[in-house]
Amino acid sequence: MNIIYGVCSWGLGHATRSLPIMRKLIEEGNNLTVISHGNSLKFLKRELGDGGIRYFDVKDYPIPVAETRGAFIAKSFLYWPKFMSRMHRGLEFVTKLLEKEKIDVIISDGRYDIYSRRIPSFLINHQVRILNPLNMRTLEFGSEIYNLFFLKNRFIKFLVPDYENDDLSGKLSHNLKLIKRNKIAYIGVLSDFRKRDLKNIDYLISITGPEPQRSILENILMKQIGNMDGKIVVTLGRPDEEVFRKEGNIEVYSILSKEKREEFLNRAKMVISRSGYSTIMDLAVIKTKALLIPTPGQVEQEYLAEYHMEKGNFYCVDQDKVNLPEDVKKARKYSGVRRECNVEKSVENTIEEINNAL
């Protein structure tokens, strides 16, 4: 099959969770056309290589990030014109591509602009209900209407990387009011990692996400790690730079290859990271304890951090209140995700959903 695979560039989470599906599709002899942008596109090129894969750099819509909830609301009013402009640009690119060649199916991880009404199009999406800073049910209801619009007119099904029961995403993709169950496929957790039984790094600090918040978190954490004992590995989430330095008990990397990421995540007794959904899936697969620091203004991350703290899985703290020595003590008391997660089965479920639509 000839497949277009779109990947959202809000951090590296969408790219990392899509890798197992992409690798399986390539392994089965399919031809992939990958559409992404920025660091996510660089990362995918680095992981998948050039063999039989085409890459296109197409900007997706900007992420509405602000340091406070009030600022988030103000920015949201200015966000929609940019959103619609970028939506049109992505759709226009796909339309022109379809005019030149035969494409059998489109898979889009988090990109609402990569689809076609002419061929089966799937959206990998864990946020079927979009949360808002004011926690207003009317707005949450409106977000379901928004997603329902895309299901009726653009995508034939949402592929939710979660379980129907004993879930990880909470109300982001469960107990929906408007969207019918047959338009949702709970495919299971997606992660590019496999669990190994080896714990000899005390802390893995993973700094990711969009600027400027990525740099702000880097500055906060780098000032505090000198007060911590044990072996510490820091990854800065900067694929545009080649950095490695070692100072005493601390190793700092600009970014890690897939193999190194998997190795360090398994070796870490404690992970300190953002609370993006892809990160939570990785932690669930590896079975590692974590301290979660949600990106300020990203309502989804704030909800997920609080949701998993309430479930007893992970401890979370606001970025401006981070006190690493004290926070990691509290985080050790939490169990991590206990349910088993089979990524191979999740990939099989995804391929089955695609094949059933052809």
Supply 268's token pair.
Answer: 């870490």
Q: Tell me: the pLDDT tens digits for 278-321?
A: 999 999 999 999 999 999 888 889 999 999 999 999 999 999 99
Neighbours of 317 (CB within 10 A): 20
Question: Is the previous residue joined to 212 through a cis bond, with omega within 30 degrees of 0?
Answer: yes
**CATH number for region 2-191+342-357:** 3.40.50.2000
Instruction: Flag the least confident range among 23-27, 137-141, 159-163.
Output: 137-141
pLDDT score at 302: 94
Which segments of the chain belong to CATH 3.40.50.2000?
A: 2-191+342-357, 201-331
Strand runs (DSSP E) across the chain, as ranges? 2-7, 31-36, 53-57, 105-109, 121-124, 157-160, 184-186, 201-206, 232-235, 244-247, 250-253, 268-273, 289-292, 315-316
214-225 residue pLDDT tens = 999 999 999 999
> Which residue is associated with the tokens 């870490």?
268
Mean of per-residue pLDDT scores for the chain: 88
| CATH number, span 201-331 | 3.40.50.2000
pLDDT digits (tens, 9 = 90+) for 236-276: 988 777 788 998 899 999 988 878 989 999 999 999 999 99
**CB of 298 within 8 A of CB of 315?**
no
What is the pTM assigned to this prediction?
0.86
pLDDT at 255: 84
